[in-house]
Amino acid sequence: MNQLDALKRFTTVVADTGDFRQLAQFQPQDATTNPSLILKTVQKPDYQQILKDTVTRFHGQAPDEIMDRLLVRFGCEILSLIPGRVSTEVDARLSFDSSASVTRAERIIALYQAEGVAVDRVLIKVASTWEGIQAAGQLQRKGIHTNLTLLFSFCQAVACGQAKVQLISPFVGRIYDWYKKTAGDKWDEAANAGANDPGVKSVRQIYNHYKKFGIKTEIMGASFRNVGQIQALAGCDLLTISPDLLAKLAVSEQALPRVLEPEAARALDLPAVNFDEASFRLALNEDAMATDKLAEGIRTFCADAVKLEHLLAA
């Protein structure tokens, strides 16, 4: 049994790509997208016709609506190839506007429903700002399931659990990137690998808290830099993995044991934790890594959304 098949025994494997033609070989349950992945994909020759078709069909509509229609087109193509759910992201430029995020999410869902896609097959991705988390809570109460992205800190995860969102995506690799860059020449790769990887440790803390206190929100580790990070989180609810790392898992036949166990987490002696808006903002501010990476992630997604709009206009 290869490591990819072994992982699927206790973790839902999700493909992190907009390149839906790569999906069949890995047979993931779900798939995730974001504007950066779609921007990268539509510039490939095999996908430029989708871009042209979308622009031609909806010429004259507002740029943000054409962009949403392109995202939904990719989502529908992906859903035709997988049995589960696709994650589609709300424009990152709305990350600090709860009301606008809700409105945009409802439009994305309406576009999917117009294509015959059931609401349960779509996760709306929203940035894990305080405003994004509150928007997600509202969407959940409306029956729209959400995926809280750009999540780097424990306080973000706790607030998401309180809002009863469907799923969170803690960014393992970007946490690792920050600590490695900050350490500079003092970074010891071997000492910070596997269970000691700072991104892995962050997800384990969230996992233990959720399982200990019966929080139903699903945990989906994301943004991996190497297979060691994936192996160290075997047993997490879901893991969203890029095609290149899926390929590496698929060719390895080394044993892949389960690492995270809900029963073990429930046996831990952990304090109950809750956040209101003021304590959330303070806790996030005190976490330099999370503050830096959240701001950087939003800026990057905003920039790529603008590039995608320009590409559509051109």
For the annotated catalytic residues, the residue numbers are 125
Q: How far apart are CA 14 and CA 27, in angstroms?
A: 9
Burial bucket for residue 49 (CB in 10 Å: 0-12, 13-18, 19+): exposed
Query: Tokens 């970007």 belong to which residue?
Result: 174
Neighbours of 69 (CB within 10 A): 20
Q: For strands 146-151 and 30-32, give the pairing.
A: unpaired
Q: How far apart are CA 106 and CA 215, in angstroms?
A: 25
Residue 3 · residue 252 · CB < 8 Å: yes
Q: How far is CA 91 from the centre of its chain?
A: 14
Burial bucket for residue 310 (CB in 10 Å: 0-12, 13-18, 19+): exposed
Please give the sequence-ordered ranges of beta strands (E in DSSP) within the chain, or none if there are none.
12-16, 30-32, 86-89, 122-127, 146-151, 167-170, 218-221, 238-241
Length of the chain: 314
